[in-house]
A and B are shown apart, each in its own frame.
Chain A
Amino acid sequence: MSPSNLWREIPQRYRLEAAFCPKCLTTYFPPRELCTECGSRELEKKKLPTRGKLVTYTVIHTPPKGFELYAPYIVGLIKLEDGTHLTAQITDADPDKLDLDVDVEAVIRKVKENGRDGPIYYGYKFRPILNANGAPERKC
């Protein structure tokens, strides 16, 4: 992913900005130009809620290039409080102790580093909500 490509996605990656069709009340994340439900072309900006529930997840043991340092890591499908879904890594969690339906919240983390001299890609990940007691552990 090139710097310009990354930069273009910053409103989504850093602030979870989505598009909303006021006519049929559909939310699109990532945002799009055309509401494919009702055909409207007048979509508005909407900020997504930062909390949700974990719908399902996987633990990646054979990472694609660039993610080796983080393996094993968890990627999950999350349903946010407003019903919007998105896919994101689940950080600060132990895959063996993660249940479906757990409450999660968005945080900003490093997604990819691109070596010692490349640009660092930051973006949203989700973690089980901040909880001092019995919080699930992460594998090294």
Chain B
Amino acid sequence: MMIPKSRVGIEGWGCYIPRYRIKTDDIASVWDAPVDRFKEDLMIQEKAIAGPDEDTITLSTEAAINAVKRAGIDPSEIGAVLCGSESHPYAVKPTGCTVAEVIGATPYTLAADLEFACKAGTEAVQMCMGLVASGMIKYGLAIGADVAQSAPGDDLEYAAASGAAALLIGPLSSSSAASIEATVSYVTDTPDFWRRAEQPYPKHGGPFTGLSYFHHVTSAAEHLMSELGLKPSDFDYVIFHQPNGKFPLRAASQLGFTKEQVSKGLLVPYIGNTYSGSSLLGLTAVLDEAAPGQQILLVSYGSGAGSDAMYIIVQDGVEEKRDAAPKVWDYIKRKQYIDYACYAKWRRMIIGLETK
């Protein structure tokens, strides 16, 4: 278990969800797929889609700007901008550079892109924790963002969505919104879901992915709780990575959490699986509402595979920061439905489409 030598807090949190949605019904009708399986079994009604002028970089900038607004700090004091995603627009040229430039953290800052499937965002948080706790930097910005890819007609297509969340990490202070007390990373080499370098879409092992999810998630959570001497009933909220609506509920049940503990952070039925943004967006939804003193267990999952578990305690600073930026539900409520043709055009899935 990793415990920072000096305590670390979340100074600001921010999110961004694009306004476009496509319904599970519409995708299923194009592929003649059993729509009930996705809507009822997997509990996904619709997913959020980035507009044609949006990508992981633009999503990250808005989430970052919101986090910095809530933190109320001078952006030139941000010493690290770490962006976790599996859809960085460039293979070589970091998302972090553009985000750092937009928010005004340049030039004296560390900027790096991370990839670990859907847990790249929580890794960014862990690394910021280390940089802050060691005194190497004052503030670190950790972002999880994706404009997730899925092969047309594949099961993943019903869930792969777009979204971003950002946490501004700093030394724990009286203004902190929350503290991150401890974290565990549980990692193995597991080929459950992958995307080769030149390929546009990921491939996966079907049900094997589920096996990997439950193993890593429960292992990381159980280890963290046991090291800390905590049990499920000690927590007010538990947030899991959300590839669909069913997995987090089953993980909760396997670990001994209730549906009520999971519900606030469960956003996938409304916006789909935002990949690297997923668990962090669940966290921002909780911070938008939680009261000081409440305890949160955050458990992310990234294929490949690994899970990051975090023990977070809400602090007094949370209440006055809430309204400084739009909340998750402000973005979720703002929506426009598009059809599959529009989705295909915007996601550049049409062969021969050349953007000049």
Contact = CB atoms under 8 A, between A and B. Distances in A.
A137 interface: yes
A97 to B, nearest CB: 11
B259 interface: no
Nearest to A70: B52
Interface in A77-113: 89, 91-92, 107-111, 113
A122 to B, nearest CB: 6
Contact of A113 (B20, B101, B334, B355): B355
A15 B89 contact: no
Contacts of A69: 52, 345, 348, 353, 355
A92 B356 contact: no
Interface in B185-226: none
Contacts of A120: 55, 57, 89-90
B104 to A, nearest CB: 6
B346 to A, nearest CB: 7
Most chain B CB within a 10 A radius of its CB, from A10, A65, A115, A132: A132
B336 A137 contact: yes
Nearest to B348: A69
Contact of B58 (A110, A114, A135): A110
B355 A116 contact: yes
A44 interface: no
B102 A66 contact: no
Contacts of B354: 115-116
B338 A122 contact: no
Contact of A140 (B19, B55, B345): B345
A21 B339 CA distance: 50
Interface string B291-330: 0000000000000000000000000000000000010001
Contacts of B353: 69
A130 B330 contact: yes
A61 interface: no
B57 A138 contact: no
Tell which of A65, A110, A137 has the most Cβ of chain B within 10 Å. A110
Interface of B: 19-20, 51-55, 57-58, 61-62, 89-90, 98, 101-102, 104, 326, 330-331, 333-334, 336, 338-339, 341-342, 345-346, 348, 353-356
